Amino acid sequence: MTDNGDATPLVRVENVNKNFGALHVLRDINLTVSRGEVVVVIGPSGGGKSTLCRAINRLETIDSGTIVFDGQPLPAEGKALARLRSDVGMVFQSFNLFAHKTILENVTLGPIKVRGVPREQAEKRGMELLERVGIASQASKYPAQLSGGQQQRVAIARALAMDPKMILFDEPTSALDPEMVQEVLDVMIGLARDGMTMVVVTHEMGFARRAANRVVFMAEGQIVEENTPDEFFTNASTDRAKDFLSKIL
Ligand code: ADP
Ligand code: MG
């Protein structure tokens, strides 16, 4: 964990509940993410992991409880909401790149349009970020010309281009062919080492063991247990987690 001098948590989720009609998807969720911390969220499909991520950058509203980001309750609208969205990067399972923009344009669009960064400066930074994720040589190509692993690395560069305070990754490697998973995880491990605050929904245990400070196991809308990766994977304390692990290991 990086100590950048601010001990207040970056994210504080308190007693959060969310329903979709009769479905109670988040049940009294409490979760704190410190600055520089890497939290892996793991658990069965339908357990509420994506909804929790989406609630943190307010792509989803909540029914009760509070979410505090960087000392402020989540804003509902306007400039403050736009600011929150650019402070919280998001990388999804489907890469969601703009198909008709080049790789470099995908990375510079946000800074230019949202942050008002001059084009030349955005492009210089964009190339540095593409270098960092190992894609600089593909800058003038279009997304469809890249492999899934390369596209996902571009999506990470695009998130980084906004200088986010944290990045939420929602199953970033589950849509990839197996041989491309590691190249994306390696970029994420690099970010973790550099002190980026990250919440990562993934079942990639290798990543969790190498990069996570904490594993949060979520099922049926609840946080069932939280532990260090080593403890969680070798010595889960609840039957629910043991059952889940027996199916994925
Ligand atoms: P996970 O990411 O752990 O698989 P999700 O957060 O996607 O779980 O979903 C939790 C539950 O909420 C699931 O039962 C899902 O079908 C339901 N759900 C998610 N989004 C919506 C929505 N927009 N409307 C209705 N139900 C939803
Ligand atoms: Mg999900």
Pocket around ligand 1 at a 6 A CB cut-off:
20, 23, 25, 45-51
pLDDT tens across 101-112, in order? 999 999 999 999
What separation in Å is there between the alpha carbon of 125 and the centre of ligand 1?
Answer: 36
Q: Provide the ipTM.
A: 0.98
Q: Are 157 and 132 in contact (CB under 8 A)?
A: yes
Confidence of residue 228 (pLDDT cuts 50, 70, 90): very high
What is the β-pairing status of strands 11-20 and 23-33?
antiparallel
- The strand pairing partners of 18, in sequence order, are 26
pLDDT tens across 69-100, in order? 999 999 888 888 988 988 999 999 998 899 99
Any idea what the Cα angle at residue 6 is, between residues 202 and 191, rounded to 5°? 35
Confidence of residue 4 (pLDDT cuts 50, 70, 90): low
What separation in Å is there between the alpha carbon of 203 and the centre of ligand 2?
Answer: 11
Separation between Cα atoms, residue 175 and residue 148, nearest integer Å: 8
Phi, psi of 239 (to 5 degrees): -65, -35
pLDDT tens across 126-147, in order? 999 999 999 999 999 999 999 9
User: Residue 162: which residues within 8 A CB-CB, separation 6 or more?
Assistant: 86, 87, 89, 110, 111, 114, 115
- For residue 54, the ligand 1 atom closest to its alpha carbon is 6
Atom 21 of ligand 1: nearest residue by CA position: 20
Other C-beta atoms closer than 10 Å to the C-beta of 71 total 10
Q: In this structure, what DSSP letter does residue 229 have?
A: H
Atom 20 of ligand 1: nearest residue by CA position: 51
Q: Positive or negative, the Cα torsion across 67, 97, 172, 94?
A: positive
